[in-house]
Amino acid sequence: MRRFSINRLTSRLGAALLLGLLIGTVPARALCAERAATLEELQQKLDQSLKAIQELTERVRELEARQSGAAAGAAPAAGESSAPSAPEPTRLEAVEQQLEQLETANASRANDETGMPLHGFADVGVGTHNPINPDLEGFFVGNLDFYLTPRLSDRGRALFEMNTEVGAEGAVGVDLERAQIGYQLADQATLWLGRFHSPYGYVNTALHHGAWVNNSLRRPGFLQFEDSGGIVPAHTVGLWITGAPRVGSGKVQYDAYVGNSQQIIDGVLDMRNAGNAHGNLIVGGRLGYLFNAGAVEGLTLGVHAFNARIGDNAVPANMTRVFSYGGYAVYDTEQWENIAEVYLFDDEDLSGTSGTHHSHAGFVQLGYHASWGVPYARYELTSLDQADNYFAAQTSGFSYHRSALGLRFDLSADAAVKLELADTQLTDRSRIQYTQGLMQYAIRF
């Protein structure tokens, strides 16, 4: 009977142990509970060790007392402190201090500085028929954009943006859209070297390849990236210094850059990633002021300009001195995102006798942050002199105007759906007019 009851007790204890283990292995967050469990274990082991130390210390005292012939009553009782045991509280305090340091170090070690964070954006969409952009007809794959910012030194900076996109013929291409390595010279001066977005206007440096970041479904047509129909060099390979020092209640935003002058190859602007064999340079800059207080808080006003010698691969080849200047205004608040940019071109034919040509382009966009989404309206206009070789050599160098209405709706913090209805009228190379409907699903990760 006794053996049976003992066996039963043992088996019950074993079952309880199993249950306890099962309970102990169902944490809300496995990874974090594992770390907390490890800490718990360490604490328990430490407590047990302290207890063992105490017991051993008492035992040593008893033995010493017997050896010296002292009375049993002279041996200190368990837990009672006396002069010879003075080191024990100190040791206990030291152990407690070490435990606290271990806890703090463990909590601080949560800052994982190893590895390189990889983030990015992606978008897909569907569009109605249009005679100009076959890559936006039907269902289409947009971009898969990877953004890498390796953590360098305290002042070192690096940024790489790799974009995978599907061309008009369906070929998948990988483009190193941005590859810039920089150094923070001072609080408001960073020097970059590599391939970067040319600092002009607002859109080209505020809204990059990640479609999710942009409230509107797409950029203005003439400010698209080079391989998407843009006629202004969106990328430069060169050297760029930028900063935004505080002046008054706002900030002065400045940029200055120099790089390889672009070229036009088969109708598309090329930024000469592989170097510059001709010695032609693009030099440019931008200066703006961000109002940060008062009635115009959120308003930025600025001017920009660049000068470049841009050739093409026509037979015979043409060379044009492209001088573009203009201004921009942005009103960016929690309610509004209103943007206006204007570009003037005074281009000189360096290879022929056609002289200087004047053209202009611009857009205005009004966007409102409603509780349910961001509706926007935009008007774009280009008037490009077709006798200017710079525009004539580009497939997208035609004049047009476009009116668009759009809407951005956030499904979550990481995903947005955008809709746009646009009416476009070409005004020189052809007189095509078309209406286009587009939908885009854009995410960040």
Partner 1 sequence: MIPGSHKSLCWRTQFLCAALLGAGLLGAGGASGRNDDAVRLDQLPQQWRDDRGTPLALTALLGQRVVIAMAYTRCRTICPATIAELKRMQRTLDERGEAASFVIVGFDPDSDDPASWRQYRINHQLDRSNWHFLTGSRQETRQFAHQLGFDFWTYDTHVMHEPRLVVFDAQGRWRGAVNPSSGNWPALL
Q: Binding to partner 1 by residue 364, rule CB under 8 A?
A: no
Q: Binding to partner 1 by residue 417, rule CB under 8 A?
A: no
Kindly list the distances between the CA atom of residue 435 and the CA atoms of 148, 229, 363, 421, 425, in Å, as whole numbers in the listed order. Answer: 38, 18, 18, 7, 9
Q: What is the DSSP letter of 166?
A: E
Among 21, 77, 171, 274, binds partner 1 (CB under 8 A): 21
Among 71, 112, 139, 171, binds partner 1 (CB under 8 A): 112
Buried residues in 29-51 as b, exposed as e (16+ CB within 10 A) = eeeeeeeeeeeeeeeeeeeeeee
- Mark 53-92 with x for binding to partner 1 (rule: CB under 8 A) and - for no binding: ----------------------------------------
The percent of the chain in helix, strand and coil, each rounded to the nearest 5, is 25, 45, 30
Among 8, 24, 92, 425, binds partner 1 (CB under 8 A): 24
Among 1, 4, 5, 26, binds partner 1 (CB under 8 A): 26
- Mark 286-325 with x for binding to partner 1 (rule: CB under 8 A) and - for no binding: ------xx---x----------------------------
Q: Binding to partner 1 by residue 119, rule CB under 8 A?
A: yes
Kindly list the distances between the CA atom of residue 392 and the CA atoms of 32, 45, 282, 397, in Å, as whole numbers in the listed order. Answer: 62, 80, 20, 6
Tally Cβ neighbours within 10 Å of residue 388. 24
Contacts of range 79-88, beta carbons closer than 8 Å, 24 or more positions apart? 79/54, 85/57, 85/61, 88/54, 88/57
Q: Binding to partner 1 by residue 110, rule CB under 8 A?
A: yes
Q: Binding to partner 1 by residue 411, rule CB under 8 A?
A: no
Q: Binding to partner 1 by residue 31, rule CB under 8 A?
A: yes
CB proximity list for 251: less than 8 A, separation 6 or greater: 244, 245, 289, 290, 292
The 3-state DSSP class for residue 287 equals strand
Q: Binding to partner 1 by residue 17, rule CB under 8 A?
A: yes
- Mark 142-161 with x for binding to partner 1 (rule: CB under 8 A) and - for no binding: -----x-x----x----x--
Nearer to partner 1, 164 or 307 (CB): 164
**Helix (H), strand (E) at residue 99:** helix 87-108
Interface residues with partner 1 (CB under 8 A)? 6, 9-10, 13-14, 16-17, 20-29, 31-33, 35-37, 40-41, 44, 103-104, 107-108, 110-112, 117, 119, 147, 149, 154, 159, 184, 187, 205-206, 208, 210, 213, 244, 246, 249, 292-293, 297, 332-334, 337, 369, 410, 413, 444
